[in-house]
């Protein structure tokens, strides 16, 4: 799901209201491993800009097409109380759980990669095919930066409909 910055900002306001109500910080954790794989003119928001008590998890194995490289980061917002303790806990967990860290070469190259990403048009094409094949009676429309699903009835229902009808007869 792609959350625009405005939606994340509204979520941040809601969380801050609840923090006041409950009397303690609420930490928002975003698993943003696909954050940079967006297309159709959409942009993905950043929780670190929306809430001072947030953590963002990111993996470069997705956006740089490096499966198995195990390279990414966890960003802890400076506004989180006990931030240092959280960071120390993350380092300790990484060590004792036996995760393999990225090779030294990748650690050296990554800072020079800038905003490089894989060619997202490949994903865009696959998403289109997947929707057309899986849901032949649905259309995916683009409206104001959000994808909207609308029902469209057709005379023929497509290949999956035929398969479902055959299975029902059995």
The DSSP secondary structure of 18-34, one letter per residue, reads HHHHHTS---EEEE-TT
- Token pair in block for residue 150: 């609308």
Picking from 33, 97, 29, the residue whose alpha carbon sits closest to that of residue 60 is 33
For residue 80, the 8-state DSSP code is S
pTM value > 0.75: no
* pLDDT 10s digits, 29-59: 998 877 877 777 778 889 999 999 999 998 8
| Domain 5-113, CATH | 3.40.640.10
Give CA separation, 44 vs 47, 86, 148, in Å: 10, 26, 17
Give mean pLDDT, residues 105-131: 75
Return d(Cα 30, Cα 58) in angstroms, integer.
Answer: 9
Residue whose entry in the numeric block shows the structure tokens 């095919």: 129
Q: Where are the domains of the chain?
A: 5-113, 121-169
- Of residues 69 and 57, more confidence is placed in 57
Using the CB atoms, write b or e for 97-124: b if 16+ within 10 Å.
eeeeebeeebeeebeeeeeeeeeeeeee
Q: Which range, of 33-37, 47-51, 101-105, 146-150, averages the lowest pLDDT?
A: 146-150
Tokens 């259309």, residue located? 139
């Amino acid at each position: 799901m792609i959350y625009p910055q405005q939606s994340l900002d509204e979520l941040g306001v809601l969380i801050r209201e609840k923090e006041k109500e409950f009397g303690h910080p609420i930490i928002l954790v975003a698993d943003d491993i696909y954050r940079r794989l967006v297309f159709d003119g959409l942009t993905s928001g950043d929780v670190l800009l929306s809430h001072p008590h947030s953590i963002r998890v990111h993996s470069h194995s997705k956006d740089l097409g490096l499966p198995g490289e195990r390279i990414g980061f966890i960003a802890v917002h400076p506004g989180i109380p006990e931030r240092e303790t959280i960071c120390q806990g993350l380092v300790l967990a990484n060590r004792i759980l036996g995760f393999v860290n990225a090779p030294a070469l990748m650690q050296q190259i990554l800072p020079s990669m800038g905003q490089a990403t894989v060619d997202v048009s490949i994903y865009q094409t696959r998403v289109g095919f997947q929707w057309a094949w899986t849901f032949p009676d649905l259309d995916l429309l683009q409206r104001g930066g959000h994808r909207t699903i609308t029902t469209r009835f057709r005379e023929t229902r497509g290949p999956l409909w035929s398969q479902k009808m055959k299975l029902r007869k059995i």
